[in-house]
Structure 1
Amino acid sequence: MVTEVAAKRFTVEQFQRMADAGVFDEDDRLELLDGEILQMNPVGRRHVASVNRLTRVFARVVGGRALISVQNPLVLGPAAEPQPDLVLLQPRPDDYEGALPTGADAFLVVEVADTTLDYDTTRKAMAYARGGVPALWVVALGPTAEGDRVLVFEEPEDDAYSSRSEARRGDRLTIPGLPDVVISVSDFLG
């Protein structure tokens, strides 16, 4: 007789209640995806530097037209609450104190991938598309800085993005919802 082992799936509400109750260690880097609680990989120096550069560049170019949220939760549905590296959000007077932002609040999500490229471009990209995030940039860090590139996902349809492209140093990118904002990839690839 073969017995199937079933994983317990959680909702965003259950995940948040567990966090509020102190079930998780304060230093745990966790996210909820497809109802599964996942341990996030530790971040290295290049990852940290990339997120810092992105934050600095976005602060300069978007000003007050978007809220820059760094490594904070984004609710994508009843069973998904990842913690993207960076999100450009529509500004709100309460800075999202009343409720966590959702995919509908985002202009852009940015993930920095040094060890998580496959995960970020498949499972997480599917979750972002399902959650209605209009654009996803995956900053793919290569073995050396010369190999770095940005994978651009736009036009979400169901659980995929219908438009995919790649940008490298010297290329320029725009942000859906902020079309007058033009960013040079060279400014944040270091």
Structure 2
Amino acid sequence: MTKQIYPGVATHSFSVEDYHRMIETGIITTDHNVELLDGQIVRMSPIERFHAACVNRLNHFFSAIVTDDLLISVQNPVLLNENSEPEPDLAILKFKTDFYASGHPQPQDILVLIEVADSSLEKDQEIKLPLYALAKIPEVWIIDLAKERVIVYQEPLEEGFKKMHSFNGEEKIMTDLPISITAKDILG
């Protein structure tokens, strides 16, 4: 399948199946640090210390709310469709007894996806967020480290999300999850 992402230039679009074959044969290795977004193999930003600390904080806070019906997944793939397998920083999933050994979580398994953005804010908002909306992910958070804010997107539509709220400081983040958390809690 070809796709035009640059005017006048056709590129090849990869399926998740193609992507996994490249991993299995060693064409793509863990050293490549990539993910599949809308058929394109995209380089992921390196994880800097503030990014890692934020992910650790999120994992700590969300682990406290885990019950028998929830699972926290940190920096693992989710299968959105046949052409997209992103690796969000944190995913809050419906619990499965096999812990998703039978296959990566799919949209119906996902309650919330969280992206921590330092140098990746544009990619997260312009590329990943529309893919998450199309996949009908109910809630997506983007943690904007540069502006010290948490942006929460809810109610997915085909053209984006119906609701978007930005939180900073001591303001309590409004979410359907059973957690009371502020942007300051997340950002440190």
Shared fold per TM-score greater than 0.5: yes
Deviations 1:89-138 (A, max 9, x none): 00000100001101221110000001111211121100011112111100
Please give the alpha-carbon distance, in whole angstroms, between the structure 2 residues aligned to 1:107 and 1:184. 19
Deviation at 1:18, TM superposition (A): 1.4
Give percent identity, aligned residues only.
36
* Native 8 Å contact 2:77 2:86 kept in 1: yes
SS of residue in 2 equivalent to 1:62: coil
Counterpart code for 1:187: D
* Native 8 Å contact 2:75 2:87 kept in 1: yes
The TM-score normalised by the length of structure 1 is 0.89
SS of residue in 2 equivalent to 1:125: helix
Equivalent residue, structure 2, for 1:186: 184
The aligned length equals 182
Does residue 139 (structure 1) correspond to residue 143 (structure 2)? The answer is yes
SS of residue in 1 equivalent to 2:132: helix
The TM-score normalised by the length of structure 2 is 0.90
Match of 1:28 among 14, 18, 32: 32
* Native 8 Å contact 1:76 1:103 kept in 2: yes
Equivalent residue, structure 2, for 1:173: 173
Seen in structure 2, the aligned counterparts of structure 1 residues 159 and 78 have a Cα distance that, compared at 3 Å, is farther
Equivalent residue, structure 1, for 2:41: 37
Equivalent residue, structure 2, for 1:155: 155
Equivalent residue, structure 1, for 2:3: none
Match of 1:92 among 92, 96, 100: 96
Structure 1 runs not aligned, ≥5 long: none
Please give the alpha-carbon distance, in whole angstroms, between the structure 2 residues aligned to 1:155 and 1:171. 21
Equivalent residue, structure 2, for 1:18: 22
Deviation at 1:22, TM superposition (A): 1.6
* Native 8 Å contact 2:117 2:143 kept in 1: yes
SS of residue in 1 equivalent to 2:154: strand
CA RMSD of superposed structures (Å): 1.7
Match of 1:109 among 106, 113, 118: 113
SS of residue in 1 equivalent to 2:11: coil
Please give the alpha-carbon distance, in whole angstroms, between the structure 2 residues aligned to 1:125 and 1:21. 30
